[in-house]
Structure 1
Amino acid sequence: MDVHSTVVDLEDVELGLDWSVDSVRGRDGHVWAKLRQLQSNHVWIRQQLTHLQRRLVTQELEKQRSAYAAKDKLQGTLRQLQLKYGRNWSL
C-alpha cells in the first residue's frame, strides 16, 4: 500500500473557511487530534482492505488449484478404465 498517498501534512491542510485555525483551536482544542485520528483510521482501513483482498485472491487460487487437481485425478481414473476395459472415451 502506498501510505504516503493517504497521509496529509497537517501544516498544509487548507480548511477553505473564512475563520482562522487559531479560532478553531479556541473553540475545539481537539481538531488536529481528531484529524490525525481520522488519517490513522483511514490508513488502517486501507491496510485491512488490502489484507482481505490478498486473502480472497489466495482462497480463489486455492480453489482453482484444487479443481485442477481433481480434474487431473478424474482424467487419470478415466485412462485406467479405458485400459482396463479396452474402450476409448474422449477426455
Structure 2
Amino acid sequence: MKDPDIEFSKWKFERKQGSFRFAVRTSLPAILGVMVGSSIEPIFISKIAWSWAQTTNILATGFWASVGAFPFSLVIWWWREKKYKRHIAKFEKHT
C-alpha cells in the first residue's frame, strides 16, 4: 500500500517541473513502444527487404500514437492535480 504523504510529496516536486514536461516524459515511452512494436513486425514476418514505405508507416504510427498519448498524459496531469488540491484542502481544513 502506498503512503499518501510520499505520493503527494512526489507530486509536489513533479508539478514544479510543469505539465508539458510531465506529458512528454509520460507519453514518450508509449510512443516509442508503439513505434518499436510496429518495426518488429516487418523485420521478422515480412519476406521483402526493408523499404521506405515501412519507414513512413512506422513514422505515421508514431505520429498517431503521439496524438493519443500526449492528450492522455495531460488528462493524467489534470486528475493528479485535482487529487492533490483536494488533499491540500482537506489538510488545511483540519489545521
> TM-score band, normalised by the shorter chain?
0.3 to 0.5
Q: Which has the higher contact order (CA 8 A, sep 6+)?
A: 2
TM-score (norm 2): 0.42
Of Structure 1 and Structure 2, the greater helix share is in 2
